[in-house]
Structure 1
Amino acid sequence: MSILDTRYKTICLDFILNKVNDVDLIFSISDLETSDFYIKVTKNNEEIDLKDFQTVLWILREDGTTDTKDLTQDEKELGLFYCNLENRYKNQVGVYKAQVLVKDPNTLEQKMTGKFEYTVTKDIPYIENSADSGSGQVNISYDEAEKAIVFDCDAIYNAETNTITMEVG
């Protein structure tokens, strides 16, 4: 009996068969604590125990930058990893590519799974509150009279999270 929460989608990756199921993972850029999914890693369609292995999700953004997220195998189901994408893993609108790296800490052998993708979209509040400046720049200056750093760009203040998001280009 699987412990999968059916509210979340599952990406299935197989080392030998090099298969990736086709699951549409779409998140809004303003989603908070709701970007959850499972990753199921198998070997030749068989469950494998990866609890003693270092398992890392590698993420490639459209702009070419990468990030990593450590994954921990579920205690009840072999090869199953719960993943919640915090904001830093979905902070740009676009298509992200991802792959799981599994590394044996004893032998240093490592294996990459096949790639999968997820999409981060703009939503209505994000679109309504940001204008397209087209400049692709943030001008930073110091206002001596105000004793403050001044950013010349489009910015959105989120009172709920007490954060400022700057739009460039």
Structure 2
Amino acid sequence: MQSTTFPPRTADLFTQGLENRPGSALLRFGAARRRSADRLSCRWTPDEPPAHPGEERVVELGEHHHEELLAFLREHSPGHSTGPGSAGISLWAGIRDENGRLVACGALSSLRDSGAPLMASVATDARLRGQGLGAALASFLTRYAVRRYGFCTLWQLADNAPAERLYTRLGYRDEDLCVAARIAAR
């Protein structure tokens, strides 16, 4: 089994106090925007989730897994938002059963307008739903993004109550997030 070492967490823009430094310009950007009128909402978290049972089973998947990922997504999540080979993907991850068969997968991508890390296309084998595989995978991807980028975002369908419960349990919020920082003059 392949294991993953998380990269060290980057500087946390949310707690640096950059807005208090004199002699610099102010930079603001939105990492996530709430879209209450749509069927989608963008959620975010700056916190690593608690360890989840089964998270140790998650493995990184490379380019040579693209056909397998695509077949899995077509069968178990036909409306997936991001597919293998899509632009902006930084990581595909999955969980395999004892026979090596893919039973869950998901990706880390980025929001087009801000570049914020985005968890996408999390899918579980339909026959195995409710066993914590999606939660283990989402925990892994969230932890990876928070350690690497300082936060993670995701799009959630408004009518998906199980996903809403899971993402809330993992610490995702749906308030509008705005980061403020000053850029030092040269």
TM-score range, shorter chain: under 0.3
TM-score (norm 1): 0.25
Q: Compare CA radii of gyration and give the structure with the larger one.
A: 1
Higher strand share: 1
Q: Larger % of helix: which?
A: 2
Structure scoring higher RCO (CA < 8 A, sep ≥ 6) equals 2
Give the TM-score of the pair, scaled to structure 2: 0.24
